[in-house]
Amino acid sequence: MKEILKSAFKQLKGNKLRTFLTMLGMLIGIGAVIIILSLGEGVKGYMTEEFNTIGKGAIQINAYSSKDLITADDLNVINEIPEVKFSIMMHDGQTESAMDYKNDERMVLLFGIPYNYEKVKSLNLRFGRSFIEQDENIKSNIIIVEDNFAEIMLGLKDPKAALGKTIEINISGEKQEFEVVGVVKSQYPSAAPKSQITPIIYVPFATLNQYIMDGEKKANQAIVVIKDEYDASKFSSPIAKLLDRRHGVEDVFDATSVAEMGDSYSSMLNKVNLFTSVVAAISLLVGGIGIMNIMLVTVKERTREIGIRKALGATDKQILNQFLVEALILTLLGGISGLILGYLGGFLIGSAMHVKAKMTIGMIAFSVGTSSVIGIIFGVYPAYKAAKLDPIEALKDE
């Protein structure tokens, strides 16, 4: 085996360009699969962290009609359910406009959140302060912005420099001036083009409510938190049906627990990973066929060498092993290179997306196992053909 390995590496080293081109299909196939899987694991981890910040006991309620919104009375009824810990009301993604430092009109997304919003989900505050109960009571014209706001809307490089600055926002046709009191981490990837980012702005719920609802306490979204000892997913459908009955409508209100959202995202990611992995597997098949073709060419080129080896006493098994080992080394080198390339690619793409690519034992086993199996499968026929050459006929070959 030592001699076989030595001979195999010598042959591969002697034809570097051919070896590289033969490995290329394997490298691309394995690399593509690892990029997909490592990013998939990273996205799963990111989504898990996001959902964990909300809490598994939370249920998100959405109203899909501008006529039938969630009211304060609705929440009072929901809060009477013994298993409910508390609930909050919020305005989700109100699209308005504001003037940036270049006097260009930009669309912004306003989120009206109560002062106790962070009991449900962390805002990841970087600078300044969060909203307090007094801000709600006096309907303060203050906002919390994301860290890209300073550069996009104010032309400032330092996100902290946005604190204390004022900006005019056009809400429901009326211009209102707001002061920045806090800066949070952006939800957008750092590599996202600034021209394509819609700045996200958080406003005290009561403040935004008075401008878009004339002070009437209604909202298109609410979050209900179920007590820890109960399964929140069992309450989502009953709560949605309760709101439909109260408003005399059907399928207008939707309630989904965080656990259900997490399962839905995981299922979707698994399907995407499976589909893209099947597509990438075609590259592996093409790579395997390429390896078989090259090995058949190698057998033809080395016919005389095989004849000499057999004349000196080499058995069919030794010749078979020699060519199988060469094919296996080719695919293993391609698989390991693809593993490294795939992880580096996943890391770079993940960095741009604010997602940490993750490598698992399963991915390593997949890379080594797949390349080994392909090497054996597509190396068997050329190796068998080499082993069965007649030594006398082989020695005649020119």
What are 54-76's pLDDT values in tens digits? Answer: 666 888 899 988 788 999 999 99
DSSP state of 159: G
Backbone angles phi, psi at 350, to 5 degrees: -60, -40
User: Model-level pTM?
Assistant: 0.67
Q: Please tell me the distance from the alpha carbon of residue 102 to that of residue 254, in angstroms, as a whole number.
A: 41
CB within 8 Å of 116: residues ≥ 6 apart: 88, 133
Q: pLDDT tens track of the chain, all 398 residues?
A: 777 777 767 777 777 777 787 777 778 878 888 888 888 778 777 776 666 666 668 888 999 887 889 999 999 999 999 999 889 999 988 889 998 888 889 999 999 999 988 888 888 899 999 999 999 999 999 999 999 999 999 999 899 999 999 999 999 888 999 999 999 988 776 656 777 788 999 999 999 998 888 778 889 999 998 888 888 888 889 999 999 999 998 888 998 887 777 777 777 777 777 777 677 677 677 777 777 877 777 777 777 877 887 888 878 888 888 878 888 887 888 888 888 888 888 888 877 766 778 877 877 787 778 777 877 787 787 777 777 777 777 676 65
User: What are phi and psi for residue 47, nearest 5 degrees?
Assistant: -65, -40
Find out whether 204 and 112 touch, Cβ atoms under 8 Å: yes
pLDDT of 201: 94
> How much is the pLDDT for 110?
94
Using DSSP's 3-state secondary structure scheme, residue 248 falls into: coil
Reduced to 3 states, what is the DSSP secondary structure of residue 143? Answer: strand
Q: How far apart are CA 187 and CA 355, in angstroms?
A: 11
What residue type is 78 in one-letter code?
A: I
> For residue 170, which of 201, 148, 140 has the smallest C-alpha distance?
201
What gap in Å lies between CA 228 and CA 247, rounded to an integer?
A: 29
- Looking at residue 94, its pLDDT comes to 84
Beta bridge partners of 316: none
Beta strands in 185-233 (DSSP E): 200-204, 218-219, 221-226
Distance, in Å, from the CA atom of 180 to the CA atom of 190, rounded to the nearest integer, reads 21
Instruction: Specify the pLDDT at position 398.
Output: 55
